[in-house]
């Protein structure tokens, strides 16, 4: 009998804490205070993604590209706070289950960065597309006003031409269908460049993350 | 007597003649003694020979873990400097490029992620690419051919002769890949392997900007080449180029404890073989010399000098030792050659047999040295005894005065045991500890025997029956055999039992994936909604769900209130700042698994609502963030801060293929957090694996499957072999131990002849003598076997704790059975010994043996 009773306070705690989950990183809370200096009400951007968003292998998660984008927002004095919803190893199927957890907290812009792990594991392109669409549908249902951004991804050449092109095409297709802003290839100028990636060859270094952020910023700034 | 020249020179020719003459007196008896030496040395030589051969076999097999002497790998094109280094290494070289790619089965129209390996050169140098048909493993390099993993073939219903498309090139499947050396990491299990020839790699057009390729170089060197030294030398340069090297030794260390356990076990066996040899030889020599005392006394009375008598017997003993040892070495070597042949239908492994001269030389040298050393003890006494004293036959009591030479001999014996154990163990500390252990065992047994002698004398009551009194009195009367038999039976029992117990412990550690309850397939990225249907599907396919665990990713936010910034600023906190950068894969459950052991604190399986969460930290993790039981941690569970404290610290056996965690949460807090699940199962065969994978992919396309079947067959075969080697060596040593025990009891045959014959002439019935003998041996057997077993339990516990470093869980029932067996054996041999006396008329016995 103890078990069900216990869940209620825990749930309450979860909902409460999820609301302020974005403030977990020192750099971001700094930016929050500078943003708070402006009179405008603060808006939230949720970056929902995998290790690229989470900043796998970097000393500090704020060095990942969403953190760099936050810096750009701050220096442009725009009233936006970024919530980093990255999780290493996340696939589109994982994101489809996890999105509910993050939907509890309202946001104004939703940036979707998923699929890279599907591609590296050679998962069927159709199922990746289906999962991403399901995530978009859930977001639209909960926050119909939110602007949507799709970050395009590609797989390494060695996966084979057919799979590579099928995979690459998922993102523009979904972006058009759902009226999303598209960043054609998130890792443009970084993917395959040895010195901008960590030893594993797939995760950008701090330097690489800056270029990635610039790729995102090029499209994102238009909708802020 | 006056004209005797006491200063006469030693006439060696005469001494030799006397030594031979004396031995002629009773050849049957001599043969019995020699047989004991033969068995001791045969045991030693056979065990040593097996050990040397087996060690070579296992080392040879271990080389298939990597398939070459040295492998150098990296994930980027080698630069000029590295290329120069790679070219300068010498030896034979093979090159491999491997990468993930989607291949297309043209006939059955399926697409699947595989691990393409493009190979150039003769790799593997150890083991082979085992394929069906057999020749495909080498022939595929001659054309546009590919070797395809067996499970993959089954999954896509492909046949040899079909084509696959790899990038832009098409290859004909030349063979099914059943086993490949060098595939021992989990990484190689993520995608099934497809081999293609290196020269057609460019045709695939898969290599270029934006591709992720792994580069591997395999080297083979001539025998005797010091690979380790080379690896150490080139490592800094490789490091700089972000490359890594791997050697067979390296791989053995990383394969888990089995190799270390095996070599420790083999040195233990060798040590025990040495002691068995000692027991066999020493007990024979000791009794032999004691029987010779009368002859020596007579010779002394006839004018033989003490030094001459001493030398005569020294020569004789050396001769006996030499004959016994050579015969033992021959017997041991023939056993070593015959046994694998005889057992070849039962042994699942092939044990190579080559004559080990090292073993033979050690055996013979050992035999002679032990014979002489143990003969010296009684012989030294003779030096100090006047002829008359010797004739009185009461020398035993008078000769125990302190003689500095006696101590010298003791010292020699100890030094010799240390020296020989050093030869076997290779380190002085180990040799010293083992020798001390044996001395302690020896002293315990001697003390027990001594106490027995004292107490039986006091205990015997005149109210007891005659037989009972006689049987017990035999234990303390002059010319008793209590000490020698207690020591030899006790030591043999201790050795046999120790080996048996250690064997039991080791076998339980060599866990094989083929045993059915070990996982060889991992499914991950299972979503919560898929958890139950997948488990159902798995069971429906007749496969076990060995474990299914939820995994939640979280970060560490605070350690005792300190954040990442604090840890970076203040290094005296001893918290690794990296610990805050990692994403932790955490699970929750209400109990420990069998690969975990709590080292401090208490595991709490359920979280109390509203309080800090009791979590269990893995030992190394706890060290990295410098926490003890009770310390506070804050975890960031994807945006939600959770306050926790360390309730326990665990030790985890990371070697087993199962899900292990740095942090374990209790049940009751993380159930609703975003999570995925991992399922472990065991697939018995490749067709089953293929069918199962097909079913899973069809129903749950997002789930990734790692099939470790191919990886584990290589490893399993090796572990299997190690397991059998341990069983075989311990079985063989136990049998030889029993033979040595039998022969050392057997040599007491002549000890009781006089008494028995006297009793018979005085009218004792056969039954009475039979009972008296039975009683004496029963008592000796019971006492020494039980003492031996107690010593064995103690020593195996110490060995397990300090040498093998593993928990002591043994089944003691077989040991109880061993106790009864050894006691029964002692009694039976004792009775067999006196059978001759019982069946023949007393006078006949006296004439032939006196």
Chain B residues with beta carbon closer than 8 angstroms to that of A156:
99-100, 210-212
Are residues A97 and B527, on separate chains, in Cβ contact within 8 Å? yes
B229's CB contacts (< 8 A; 6+ apart) are none
Chain A residue whose CA is closest to B213? A158
In the structure, what pLDDT confidence band is assigned to residue B188 with cuts at 50, 70 and 90?
A: low
- As a whole number, the mean pLDDT across chain B is 83
B713: closest CA of chain A, how far (Å): 24
| CA–CA distance, B27 with B42 (Å, rounded to integer) | 21
Q: What is the mean pLDDT of residues B398-420?
A: 76
- DSSP secondary structure string, B68-112? SSEEEEESS---HHHHHHHHHS-SEEEEEEEEEEEEEETTTTEEE
Facing B640 at nearest CB: one of A14, A89, A161: A14
Chain A residues with beta carbon closer than 8 angstroms to that of B565:
26
**Domain around A71:** 43-223
Percentage, residues of chain A above pLDDT 90: 58
| CA–CA distance, A187 with A202 (Å, rounded to integer) | 10
DSSP strand pairing (B110-120 vs B193-197): parallel
Helices A65-75 & A26-37 angle (0-180, nearest 10): 20
Nearest C-alpha neighbor of B748 from the set B672, B629, B837, B679 = B837
* Token code pair at residue B526: 């299972």
At B388 the pLDDT is 67
From A51, A74, A108, A118, active-site residue: A51
| CA–CA distance, B269 with B265 (Å, rounded to integer) | 6
Residue that the structure tokens 């040195």 belong to: B267
Q: For residue A3, is it within any domain? A: no
* Least confident window among A62-71, B508-517, B530-539, B680-689: B508-517
Chain B residue whose CA is closest to A156? B211
CATH, residue A57: 3.40.50.1110
Cβ atoms of A115 and A128 within 8 Å: the answer is: yes
Q: What is the mean pLDDT of residues B54-73?
A: 84
Residue-wise pLDDT for B26-49, tens only, equals 677 778 778 877 887 888 888 888
At B7 the pLDDT is 66
| CA–CA distance, B430 with B276 (Å, rounded to integer) | 18
Decide if A60 is catalytic.
no
Q: Which residues is B70 bridged to in the sheet?
A: B219, B247
At A12 the pLDDT is 29
At B571 the pLDDT is 81
Q: Which residues of B518-534 are buried (b: 16+ CB within 10 A; e: fewer)?
A: bbbbbbbbbbeebbeeb
Facing A158 at nearest CB: one of B206, B578, B674: B206
Classified as helix, coil or strand, A112 is strand
A30 in B contact zone (CB under 8 Å): no
Domain residue ranges of chain B, discontinuous segments joined by +: 12-59+259-511+717-849, 95-215, 515-710
Nearest C-alpha neighbor of B101 from the set B217, B201, B15, B228 = B201
Q: For residue A80, is it within any domain? A: yes
Cβ atoms of B678 and B535 within 8 Å: the answer is: no
Decide if A51 is catalytic.
yes
* Least confident window among B319-323, B391-395, B437-441: B391-395
Which residues 62-101 in chain A show a CB within 8 A of chain B?
Answer: 83, 85, 87-89, 91-94, 96-98, 101
pLDDT at B335 over 70: yes
A39 in B contact zone (CB under 8 Å): no
Q: Exposed, middle or buried by CB within 10 Å (0-12, 13-18, 19+), for B169? A: middle
Decide if A30 is catalytic.
no
Q: E strand or H helix at B676, and its extent?
A: strand B676-681
Cβ atoms of B76 and B242 within 8 Å: the answer is: yes
In the structure, what pLDDT confidence band is assigned to residue B171 with cuts at 50, 70 and 90?
A: very high
Residue-wise pLDDT for B442-465, tens only, equals 899 889 888 888 888 887 777 888
What is the predicted ipTM?
A: 0.76
Cβ atoms of B216 and B71 within 8 Å: the answer is: yes
Chain B residues with beta carbon closer than 8 angstroms to that of A119:
none
At A15 the pLDDT is 27
| CA–CA distance, B182 with B124 (Å, rounded to integer) | 8
In the structure, what pLDDT confidence band is assigned to residue B509 with cuts at 50, 70 and 90?
A: confident
Q: Which residues of B610-648 are buried (b: 16+ CB within 10 A; e: fewer)?
A: eeebbbbbbeebbebbbbebebebbbbbbbbbbebbbbb
Using alpha carbons, list the distances in angstroms from residue B612 to B534, B635, B740, B743. 34, 11, 64, 68
* Token code pair at residue B390: 């010797």
B724's CB contacts (< 8 A; 6+ apart) are B347, B348, B349
Number of domains in chain A: 1
Chain B residues with beta carbon closer than 8 angstroms to that of A18:
639-640
Chain A residue whose CA is closest to B612? A10
| CA–CA distance, B567 with B579 (Å, rounded to integer) | 10
DSSP strand pairing (B596-601 vs B640-652): antiparallel
């Amino acid at each position: 009998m103890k078990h069900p009773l216990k869940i209620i306070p825990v749930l309450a705690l979860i909902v409460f804490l999820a609301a302020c989950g974005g403030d977990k990183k020192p750099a971001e809370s700094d930016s929050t205070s500078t943003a708070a200096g402006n009179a405008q009400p603060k808006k939230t951007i949720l970056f929902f993604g995998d290790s690229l968003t989470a900043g796998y292998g970097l000393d500090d998660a704020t060095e990942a590209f969403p953190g760099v984008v936050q810096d750009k927002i701050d220096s442009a004095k725009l009233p936006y706070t970024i919530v980093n919803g990255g999780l290493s190893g996340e696939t589109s199927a994982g994101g489809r289950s996890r999105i509910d957890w993050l939907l509890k907290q309202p946001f104004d812009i939703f940036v979707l960065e998923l699929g890279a792990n599907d591609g590296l594991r050679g998962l069927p392109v159709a199922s990746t597309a289906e999962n991403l669409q399901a995530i978009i549908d859930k977001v639209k249902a909960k926050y119909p006003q939110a602007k949507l951004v799709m970050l395009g991804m590609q797989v390494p050449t060695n996966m084979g031409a057919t799979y590579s092109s099928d995979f690459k095409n998922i993102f523009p297709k979904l972006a058009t269908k759902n009226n999303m802003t598209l960043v054609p290839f998130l890792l443009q100028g970084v993917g395959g460049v040895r010195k901008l990636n960590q030893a594993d060859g797939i995760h950008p270094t701090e330097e690489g993350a800056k270029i990635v952020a610039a790729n995102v910023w090029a499209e994102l700034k238009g909708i802020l | 007597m006056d004209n005797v020249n006491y200063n006469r020179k030693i006439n060696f020719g005469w001494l030799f003649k006397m030594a031979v003459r004396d031995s002629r007196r009773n050849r049957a008896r001599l043969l019995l003694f020699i047989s004991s030496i033969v068995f001791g040395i045969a045991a030693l030589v056979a065990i040593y020979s097996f050990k040397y051969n087996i060690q070579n076999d296992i080392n040879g097999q271990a080389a298939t873990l990597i398939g070459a002497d040295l492998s150098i790998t990296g994930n980027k094109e080698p630069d000029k400097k590295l290329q120069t280094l790679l070219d300068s290494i010498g030896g034979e070289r093979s090159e491999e490029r491997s990468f993930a790619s989607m291949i297309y089965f043209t006939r059955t129209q399926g697409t699947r992620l595989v691990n393409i390996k493009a190979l150039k050169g003769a790799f593997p140098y150890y083991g082979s690419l085992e394929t069906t048909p057999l020749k495909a493993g080498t022939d595929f390099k001659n054309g546009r051919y590919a070797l395809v993993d067996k499970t993959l073939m089954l999954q896509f219903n492909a046949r040899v002769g079909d084509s696959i498309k790899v990038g832009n090139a098409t290859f004909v499947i030349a063979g099914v890949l059943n086993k490949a050396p060098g595939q021992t990491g989990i990484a190689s299990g993520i995608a099934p392997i497809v081999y293609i020839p290196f020269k057609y790699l460019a045709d695939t057009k898969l290599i270029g900007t934006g591709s992720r390729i792994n580069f591997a170089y395999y080297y083979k060197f001539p025998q005797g080449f010091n690979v380790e030294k080379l690896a150490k030398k080139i490592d800094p340069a490789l490091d700089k180029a972000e490359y890594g090297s791997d050697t067979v030794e390296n791989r053995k260390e990383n394969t888990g404890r089995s190799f270390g356990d095996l070599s420790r076990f083999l040195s233990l066996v060798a040590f025990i073989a040495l002691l068995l040899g000692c027991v066999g030889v020493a007990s024979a020599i000791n009794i032999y010399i004691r029987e010779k005392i009368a002859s020596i006394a007579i010779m002394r009375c006839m004018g033989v000098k003490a030094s001459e008598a001493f030398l005569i017997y020294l020569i004789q003993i050396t001769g006996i030792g030499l004959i016994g040892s050579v015969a033992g070495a021959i017997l041991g070597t023939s056993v070593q050659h015959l046994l694998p042949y005889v057992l070849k239908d039962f042994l699942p492994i092939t044990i190579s047999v080559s004559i080990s001269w090292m073993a033979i030389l050690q055996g013979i040298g050992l035999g002679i040295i032990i014979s002489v050393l143990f003969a010296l003890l009684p012989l030294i006494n003779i030096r100090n005894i006047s002829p008359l004293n010797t004739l009185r036959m009461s020398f035993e009591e008078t000769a125990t005065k302190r003689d500095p030479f006696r101590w010298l001999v003791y010292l020699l014996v100890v030094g010799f045991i240390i020296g020989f154990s050093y030869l076997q163990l290779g380190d002085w500390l180990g040799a010293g500890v083992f020798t001390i252990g044996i001395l302690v065992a020896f002293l315990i047994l001697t003390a027990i025997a001594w106490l027995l002698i004292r107490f039986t004398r006091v205990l015997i009551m005149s109210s007891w029956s005659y037989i009972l009194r006689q049987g017990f009195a035999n234990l303390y009367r002059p010319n008793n055999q209590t000490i020698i038999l207690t020591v030899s039976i006790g030591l043999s029992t201790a050795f046999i039992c120790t080996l048996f117990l250690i064997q039991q412990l080791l076998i339980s550690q060599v866990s094989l994936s083929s045993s059915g309850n070990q996982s060889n397939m991992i499914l991950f990225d299972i979503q919560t909604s898929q958890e139950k249907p997948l488990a159902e599907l798995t069971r429906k396919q007749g496969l076990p769900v060995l474990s299914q665990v939820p995994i939640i990713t979280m970060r560490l936010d605070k350690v005792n209130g300190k954040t990442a910034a604090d840890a970076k600023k203040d290094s005296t906190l001893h918290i690794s700042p990296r610990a805050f950068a990692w994403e932790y894969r955490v699970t929750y459950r209400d109990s420990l698994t069998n690969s975990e052991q709590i080292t401090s604190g208490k595991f709490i399986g359920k979280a109390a609502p509203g309080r800090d969460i009791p979590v269990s930290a893995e030992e190394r993790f706890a060290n990295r963030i410098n926490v003890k039981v009770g310390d506070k941690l804050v975890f960031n569970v994807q945006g939600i801060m959770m306050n926790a404290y360390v309730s326990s610290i665990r030790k985890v056996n990371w070697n087993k293929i199962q899900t292990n965690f740095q942090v374990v949460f209790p049940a009751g807090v993380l159930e609703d957090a975003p999570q995925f699940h991992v399922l472990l199962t065991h697939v018995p065969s490749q067709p089953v694996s293929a069918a199962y994978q097909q079913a899973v992919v069809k129903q749950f396309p997002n789930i990734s499957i790692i099939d470790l079947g191919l990886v584990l067959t290589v490893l399993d075969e090796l572990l299997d072999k190690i397991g059998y080697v341990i069983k075989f060596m311990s079985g063989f040593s136990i049998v030889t131990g029993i033979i040595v025990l039998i022969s050392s009891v057997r040599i007491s045959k002549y000890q009781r002849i006089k008494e028995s014959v006297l009793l018979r002439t005085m009218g004792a019935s056969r039954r009475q003598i039979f009972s008296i003998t039975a009683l004496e041996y029963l008592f000796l057997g019971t006492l020494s076997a039980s003492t031996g077993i107690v010593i064995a339990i103690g020593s195996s516990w110490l060995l397990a704790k300090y040498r093998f470093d593993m928990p002591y869980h043994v089944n003691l029932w077989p040991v109880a059975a061993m106790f009864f067996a050894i006691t029964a054996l002692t009694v039976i041999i004792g009775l067999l010994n006196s059978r001759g006396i019982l069946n023949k008329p007393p006078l006949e016995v006296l004439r032939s043996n006196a």
